Amino acid sequence: MSRFKKVGNAVYTSGVTGKPGDVPTQIRNVFQKLKTTLEEAGSSFEKVVKVTIYLSDLNYREQYLNQIWNEYFGNLESPPARTTVEAGLGPEVYVEIEMVASP
């Protein structure tokens, strides 16, 4: 499995989980992993256009995700579009995130 795929003017990341840790730790771990992946692909968080977030409990969106999201994207003039859904992710996995960015 590739961590990312470049197609035309887009970089697509694979879904990334942040295990181990509690919910906020996993969310931050995922963002850090995706930051590294995007940099390897020649992109960055500033170039992200779409984010899909899978949470094991949708209540985590208000409890943790929105605050951490603002740490990474809150200073951007135009933050990326975001979809957040609840999904079964496996034992002690609370979040999975994938991104689409320009190179």
- How confident is the model at residue 20, as a pLDDT? 93
Q: Give residue 13's domain range.
A: 4-101
Calpha distance 95→89 (Å, rounded): 7
Calpha distance 91→69 (Å, rounded): 24
- How confident is the model at residue 28, as a pLDDT? 98
Contacts of 3 (CB under 8 A, 6+ apart): 13, 14, 16, 37, 40
Range in 3-12, 69-78, 86-95 the model is least confident about: 69-78
pTM, full prediction: 0.95
Calpha distance 54→31 (Å, rounded): 13
Nearest Cα to Cα of residue 72 among 53, 88, 92: 53
Q: What is the pLDDT of residues 55-82, one digit of tens each?
A: 999 999 999 999 999 999 988 899 999 9
Q: To 5 degrees, how large is the angle CA 24–CA 37–CA 76? A: 65
Q: What is the pLDDT of residues 22-52, one digit of tens each?
A: 999 999 999 999 999 999 999 999 999 999 9
Calpha distance 58→72 (Å, rounded): 20
- How confident is the model at residue 75, as a pLDDT? 87
CATH number reported for the structural domain that contains residue 66 in this entry: 3.30.1330.40
Q: How many domains does the chain have?
A: 1
